[in-house]
Amino acid sequence: MEQVVLIGGEAGEGIKESANLFSKVLVNLGFSVFTYHDYPSLIRGGHNFSLVRFSSETVLAPRKKFDTGVVLDERSLKRHESEAKENAKWIVDSSLKKEGIKVPFKKMAKGVKRSSAILGALLKAYGIPEEEGLEVLKSLKDYEENKEIFLKAYEASEKVYELIEVEGRKGDYISGNEGIALGAVDGGLKAYIAYPMTPASPVLHFLAANKESLGIKVVQPENEIGVVNMVLGAAFAGGRVMTGTSGGGFALMAETISLSGMSETPLVVYLAQRGAPSTGVPTYTEQSDLLFALNAGHGDFPRIVIAPSTAKESYLFTREALNLAWKYQTPVIVISSKSVAESFFTENIERERVVEEPILWNGKGEYRRYEITENGISPLAFPGTKGAVVKANSYEHDPFGITTEEPDTIKLMKEKRERKRREIRKEVESRKDAVSLGGDTNSDKVIITWGENWGVCCEVGEELGFKVVKPNFLEPFPAKRVKEELEGAKEVIVVELSISGQFEKLLKLNGIKANRSYRKYDARPIFVEELTEFLS
């Protein structure tokens, strides 16, 4: 069984909240749920809508056509009427001239509390016992008031569906941003330092709201330049820290990314892409910061760029990012996008704290912060370590960290950092999680994609007979592994959210050519119907 529910109305009417409440009930009943939220950068007014897709099978992507439409205003009705399936059911505010189940949402409640009314109407329509709704309402403030609103709407609605029974719970309801936050904590995070910027802000909010139970510090400085320098300073002092931002904020951090590369100080940055350039469309999605993430900062230095596609990958890759940053003493960028960051998935995440200790100075002899080693990784020591003078230098330096302009020493240190880059590449090529495979893995027709497009590509690929290849590490790029998976392919199609084809350019740089490409660039995710039409 599969259904798609659209909920539409103005900002401030509880649209997103109602979708999340309904989704939590469905997850409790054993369904797999994928929830996509669409909203402008307005606190009130404008048009908001959420799509809740649920199934007895795993779902990881949005569909545009819906089975049930819940609308609170005329604008939502006009906007989405053409996207309704032929036999779609409607639950509408009683003021609207539209056939369907009439519920007086606006009279029942004001503002965000309308979410409880929407929940009540939906549960009745799907034949879900009211007790299931009351359970999720317990997480809200003013439970008694929300309970009263919910029960009135439940009574006013009508039953039109009979849900099948689903055995076993498929996971927890979690967003990509929550995955980022929990992954950082389980990677040893001590402090999260960030300035709010959509769509990365929910990580800051989540960690701030749960800082005591998670055992971390959360700091919001005055701007992104202050943020990234505080992060670097804390790492120099020995603290596992990270930050999160989006396009404009990341641009302000570029100089300090170079400082991290030269000083070999661990730095973890979560980059949640949005519609760009400049302010762009800040609450929507895109994949146009890829080449910037790969090249941000001046000069040659190693970095790692990892791209999660789901909430579970967001958890795993962020946990790994902290360990890699400290292992290799280099910048690590976790690059995501709005539709991974703010969408909700049904995931089984087995949380485990994994903190790998970096190479530390053994206390013998005179400490050399940039000691020349075979793999380019020098032992770490932190200020206050007995017997060690710790120098981190933005200028080119000798093994002790003392400024130099001597050509032989400059050459020596550049070669040291380059050996570290090669060591990172060697690890990435050997990692099982460097590349993911999906769809019809035996097919000679291949879709190659990255980031948020994974779910839709796998679903359509399986249905239409395409193998799906997704590199998860974009720097160093696992070219050898990707080429092995493309060997014998009769057709290679690149799928991405970039008008200029940034991912396709990256593939070409690594000797990989495609026959054709699908590029979407309206700042919205790729819906299942769209990719199906293109590939059919």
What confidence tens digit (pLDDT) does each residue in 434-463 have? Answer: 999 999 999 999 999 999 999 999 999 999
pTM, two decimal places: 0.97
Fold of 173-347: Rossmann fold (3.40.50)
pLDDT mean across residues, the chain = 97
Secondary structure class of 275 (helix, strand, coil): strand
Is there a contact between 290 and 502 (Cβ–Cβ < 8 Å)?
yes
* Count, residues in the chain: 536
pLDDT tops 90 at residue 317:
yes
pLDDT tops 90 at residue 133:
yes
pLDDT, average across residues 265-282: 97
Residue boundaries of the structural domains of the chain: 2-156, 173-347, 360-430, 434-535
pLDDT tops 90 at residue 45:
no
pLDDT, average across residues 219-245: 98
- Quote the pLDDT of residue 115: 97
Count of C-beta atoms within a 10 Å radius of residue 127: 11
Is there a contact between 453 and 504 (Cβ–Cβ < 8 Å)?
no
| pLDDT tens digits along 377-435 | 999 999 999 999 999 999 999 999 999 999 999 999 999 999 999 999 999 999 999 99
pLDDT tops 90 at residue 345:
yes
| pLDDT tens digits along 92-118 | 999 999 999 999 999 999 999 999 999
Banded model confidence at residue 294, pLDDT cuts 50, 70, 90: very high
Fold of 2-156: Pyruvate-ferredoxin Oxidoreductase; domain 3 (3.40.920)
Could you tell me whether strands 491-496 and 516-519 are parallel, antiparallel, or unpaired per DSSP bridges?
A: parallel
- Quote the pLDDT of residue 465: 98
| pLDDT tens digits along 73-95 | 999 999 999 999 999 999 999 99
- Same-fold call for 2-156 versus 434-535: no
Please state, in angstroms and rounded to a whole number, the distance separating the CA atoms of residues 350 and 368: 40
pLDDT, average across residues 238-265: 98
**Cβ contacts of 326 within 8 Å, gap of 6 or more:** 240, 266, 356, 358
Instruction: Name the percent of the chain lying above pLDDT 90.
Output: 98
With residue 50 as reference, give the H or E element that holds it. strand 45-55
- Quote the pLDDT of residue 63: 98
- Quote the pLDDT of residue 42: 84
Least confident of 160-169, 230-239, 275-284: 160-169
Q: Which of 392, 337, 349, 352 is nearest to 369 (CA)?
A: 392
Cis upstream peptide for 199 (omega within 30°): yes
Banded model confidence at residue 167, pLDDT cuts 50, 70, 90: confident
* 86 φ, ψ (degrees, to nearest 5): -55, -40
The CATH code of domain 434-535 reads: 3.40.50.920
pLDDT, average across residues 27-54: 94
pLDDT, average across residues 194-200: 98
Count of C-beta atoms within a 10 Å radius of residue 103: 28
pLDDT, average across residues 191-215: 98
pLDDT tops 90 at residue 43:
no
Strand-by-strand arrangement of the 32-38 sheet: 101-103, 84-93, 66-71, 2-11, 45-55, 32-38, 344-347, 172-175
Place of tokens 């070669």: 415
- Quote the pLDDT of residue 207: 98
